[in-house]
Amino acid sequence: MELEEAKQKFIQAWGTFGSNWGINRTMAQVHALLLISSEPLCADDIMATLKISRGNANMNIRALIDWGLVYKELKPGERREYFIGEKDMWKVVRQIIVHRKKKELEPVLKILEELKDIEGKEEENEEFVKVIKDIQLFSEKADRVLDKFIRSDSSWLMNAFLKMI
C-alpha cells in the first residue's frame, strides 16, 4: 500500500468513526488530516485535499479550534493562517471528553435532578422512581470518572487501565 493511499484511508476511516460518534464527518476528516500532517496546512490545502468548499472548511476548522484539537499558526511575513493539529493523543481524547461531557452528560444530570422533585410525592409509581434513581446513580459515577480523567495525565490513565484489567 502506498503511503498516500494509507493516509487517505485513515482520513476516511476517521470520518466514519467520527460520524458514528455524533461528530460531523467533515470535522473528523479535517482533524485526521491535520493529525497526520507534519506541516501546518492552510484553508486552501484542506479544501484541496478533502475536496470541500471554503465555507465548509472554515466552519469545521473553527469548530476544531473551539474543541482545542487544532491551533492556529501564523507564519512570519505570511498573511494567510495555517493550522496544526494537536498531536498528543491523550490530550486529544481529553479534549473530546471535556466537550462531549459538557454537551451530553451534564444536561442529563440536570434533568434527572429536576425529575427527583416529583418522585417523593407519589409512592405508587415505583418503576419510574427506580429507573430515574438507577440512571442517576450510573451517570453520576460516569461524571466523576470523567472528571478525574479530564484532570489526569496519561500515566494516571495507564494505571487506571491496568487496575481495571
Partner DNA sequence: TTCTTTTTTCAAAAAAAAATGAAACCTCAT
Partner DNA sequence: ATGAGGTTTCATTTTTTTTTGAAAAAAGAA
How far apart are the C-alpha atoms of 165 and 45, rounded to whole Å?
A: 43
Residue among 1, 39, 76, 80 that touches DNA (CB under 7 A): 80
CB-nearer residue toward DNA: 78 or 126: 78
Position 26 contacts DNA (CB under 7 A): yes
Looking at the DSSP bridge assignments, the partners of residue 152 are: none
Q: Which stretch binds DNA (CB under 7 A): 3-11, 39-47, 103-111, 128-136?
A: 39-47
Q: How many helices (H) and strands (E) does the chain have?
A: 8, 3
The minimum distance between CB 54 and its own copies, in angstroms, equals 26
Report the residue from 75, 103, 150, 153 that binds its own copies according to the rule CB under 8 A.
103
CB 75 within 8 A of CB 82: yes
Q: Which stretch binds its own copies (CB under 8 A): 40-48, 49-57, 60-68, 106-114?
A: 106-114
Transcribe 79-122 into DSSP letters: -SEEEEE---HHHHHHHHHHHHIIIIIHHHHHHHHHHHHHHTT-
- Select from 107, 113, 150, 153 the one that contacts its own copies (CB under 8 A): 107
